[in-house]
Structure 1
Amino acid sequence: MLIISEQEARALVSVEDAIAAVEQCFAAMAAQEARNYPVVREGVGYQDAVFGVKAGCDSSAPILGLKAGGYWPHNMGKGLSNHQSSTLLFDADTGRACALVSANYLTGVRTGAASAIATKHLSRPDSSVLGIIGAGAQSQYQLRATLAVRAIRRVHAWNRSAENLTAFGRIVEQLGLEFVPESGAQAVAAHADILITVTPSQKALVEKSWVRPGTHINAMGADTRGKQELDPALVATAALFVDETAQAISIGECQHAYDAGLITDRSFRGSIGAVIEGLCDGRRTADEITLFDGTGVALQDLAVADLAVRAAAKRGLGSNVDY
C-alpha cells in the first residue's frame, strides 16, 4: 500500500491539476460512468465532532474508494485544523486496498476546484469582481481556483471574524489584487460578478434582493442537514445547477427551498457535469442569476487522491508498506 502524507499531497496536486481532475469526474458522472454511494454523516457524540464517510466508483478511470473524516471544532487549540479526513483507494480489479492519502489539503483544493468549474461554465466571461462571504481556511482555495478560470481584478469579502478577514486580505493583496473588506454580506453581494459563500452558517446570510442580475453564485458551505447560506427565495428564482441532485436537496443549500416547496426535483436545470458534457444549457442570458449548489461528492475526493497517487509514482514520493 502507498501512503501519502499531508505534506506530500500538497506538493503533488496543484489547483490547476485538481480543476482538470474534478472536471473529468463531473463529466463521467453525467455520462453515467461514475457513481457516488449514499453518504454517511453523523454527530459523533464526543468532542462535538461530526464524522462522515463518502464513497464511490468511476468505472471509466477506474477509481474506487472512500473518504472518511469530518469536523472537530476544538482542534485549533491543539494545533490541528478542525477539518480532518483521509482517503482510502482500492484496486478496482481486485478490491484490495492500495493507497491511503491524507486528505485535509486535498479536500480544500477539490472544493475550490468544483467552485471554479462552475464559475468557468456558468459565470459571465467578463466577470472581474469576486465576492466571498466567509474568510476561513477554505476562502483561499476558492480565491486561487477562481483566478485559474477568470481574470479577477478586485475582491470584496466579509467574515464575522475581523482577524480572519484581515488575514484573507493579505493573501488577496499578495496575489496583486485589490481587496475591499466589507462590514456585511449585503455589501459583498452588491458588488460581486461572482459570489461565493463558504461558511458553516445555519441561517440565510444573503437575501434575494441583494443579488444583482447576471451574478453567478457558488454556494459551497452547506454540506450537512441544517446548514444554510442563502435566502430560499433566491434559490427558487435562480437557474439551479448541482454536483448531485440527491445531495443538494438533502444536505445542500437547496434543502431549505425544497423542504418549503419552493422548488421540486424538476427545478434543476442540470448537473455541472451535464453542462460540461453539453447535455443541458448553462447560462442562457447575461442577466440570468445562476447558482451552483456544491455539496461535495465522493468522486471529487477520489479524483484528487488518485491524481496524488499517480504523481507520487512518477516522482518517487510516498511510503510503500506491506499490507
Structure 2
Amino acid sequence: MLAPVDPPTNKKGISIVSEDVCQQTVGRPEAFTAVENVFAAMARGDAYNFPVVREAIGHADALYGFKSGFDRAGMSLGVKSGGYWPGNAAKGLTNHQSTIILFDPDTGQIKSIVGGNYLTAVRTAASSAVSIAHLARKDAKVLGMIGAGHQSTFQLRAAVEQRDFEKVLAWNPHPKNLVRLATVCAELGLPFEAVEREQLCAEADVIITITSAFEPLLRHEWIKPGTHIACMGTDTKGKQEVDPALLVAATLFTDEIAQSISIGEAQHAVASGALKAGDITSLGDVINGDHCGRSSAEEITLFDGTGVGLQDLAVASVAVQLADERKLSSKISL
C-alpha cells in the first residue's frame, strides 16, 4: 500500500506587504517607471486587462468591484478588490479602500497580498505624470488643479516633477479643502492661488482634474490653445468632469481605449456619436514611439486616465520585490 502523498505547497510562502511597507518601498520614481512600462506593454499587446466589475452594493453608498489583468512582459497576474466608501472620511479613513492579490503566472498559486490604498493613490498620480511627461509642452509654467480631495496631493507632487512649474492654481467645489494643496505648495516653495475655473483654464498650461463629478466642470471654450489636460476622476459609468466638446476638439489619449469609451471621460462623447473609439490613442503608443504625441505648440492634448488593473499589479509587484529584498514583508503559508 502506497503512503499518502501530501499535496504540493507554496514553499516560499505568501508575501504580505502592509500599507506602511508599501509607503516605505514605492515612491514616485518607482511608480512612474512601473506605470510607464505597463502602458508600453499594453500598447504592444504584451499585457491586457480583464473586464472590470464595479457595482453599487446597496449599503453605505459604496461602490465595490474588481480590476484584474495579466502582464506577460512583467509577469504580473492578479486582481485588485476594493471600491469607494464616501462616508469613510468622517471615520478617519480614506474613501478608497482596496487590496491587491498577486498570483504566480506559471502555477496559479497565490504569491502576495498587498495593501492597495496607498498604491492606488501613487499609481493614479503616476499615470497623470506619465501623460504630462509625454504630452505637455516643455515650456509649461502654470499647473491647474481641479479637485482637492485625498488624491489631489499625490497628483500635485507627481506633476511638479515633470515640468518647471512656476505657479499652481486650484479650484474645488468646497474651497476649504484647498488648504491641502496650499500646504504642499508651501512645502515645495511654489506660489499657490485659489481661483475660479474660468481663470484657471485661461492661465494653466497643464490641468489635472481629480474629482468625483457627474457633470462637466470645465468648458471647451475656457481652455487655451496648447493646454494639456489629465482627466483622472472618471472611472465609472455616469461620471463626468469635462465638456464632451473638449474631447472632440482635443487630441485624445488614454490608458485603455475600451475603458475610456465605457467608463472613462470619453463615454459621453461616444454615446452622443460625437466621438469614435478610433479617435483615441493609447498613451503607450506614444511611449513606444509609434505615435508622435503632441504635434504642435497650439494643440490641446487630453489624457483620459480611467485607471486600469494592470497599473495596480505593476506597482504591487514592485512593492513585493522591494519588501522581500529588504526583509520588510511578512510570510505565511496556506
TM-score bracket, shorter-length normalisation: over 0.9
Pair 1:314-2:297 in alignment: no
Aligned with 1:227 (options 239, 244, 254): 239
Q: Which residue of 2 aligns with 1:187?
A: 199
2:172 maps to which residue? 159
Match of 1:107 in 2: 120
Q: What is the root-mean-square deviation of aligned Cα atoms in Å? A: 0.8
User: What is the CA distance between 1:281 and its match in structure 2?
Assistant: 2.1
Partner of 1:304: 315
Secondary structure in 2 aligned to 1:262? coil
1:210 matched to 2:222: yes
Structure 1 counterpart SS, 2:97:
strand
- Gaps spanning 5+ residues in structure 1: where? none
1:78 to 91, 106, 109: 91
- How far the C-alpha of 1:215 sits from its partner, in A, is 0.2
Which of 203, 208, 211 pairs up with 1:199?
211
Answer with 37-46 or 71-80: which moved more: 71-80
Query: What is the aligned partner in structure 1 of residue 284 from structure 2?
Result: 273
- Per-residue deviation, residues 239-263 of structure 1 (Å, max 9, x unmatched): 0001001100100000011111110
Alignment map for 1:245-284 (pairs within 5 Å): 245-268=257-280, 270-284=281-295
CA contact (8 A) 1:16 1:148 kept: no
For 2:110, the equivalent position in structure 1 comes to 97
Structure 2: gaps (5+ residues)? 1-13
Are residue 244 (structure 1) and residue 252 (structure 2) matched? no
Query: Number of matched residues?
Result: 321
Instruction: Name the aligned partner's letter for residue 322 of structure 1.
Output: S
Q: What code does the residue aligned with 2:157 have?
A: R
Structure 1 segments, 4+ long, off by >2 Å, are none
State the one-letter code of the partner of 2:286: V
Aligned AA (2:126): A
Which residue matches 2:137? 124
| Aligned residues of 2:153 and 2:180 also touching (Cα < 8 A) | no
Q: Does 1:57 align with 2:70?
A: yes
Asked if the contact 2:71–2:77 (Cα under 8 Å) also holds between the matched residues in 1, the reply is: yes
Do the aligned residues in 1 keep the contact of 2:68 with 2:309 (CA within 8 Å)? yes
Q: Tell me, yes or no, if structure 1 residue 42 matches structure 2 residue 49.
A: no
What TM-score do the two structures reach when normalised by structure 2? 0.95
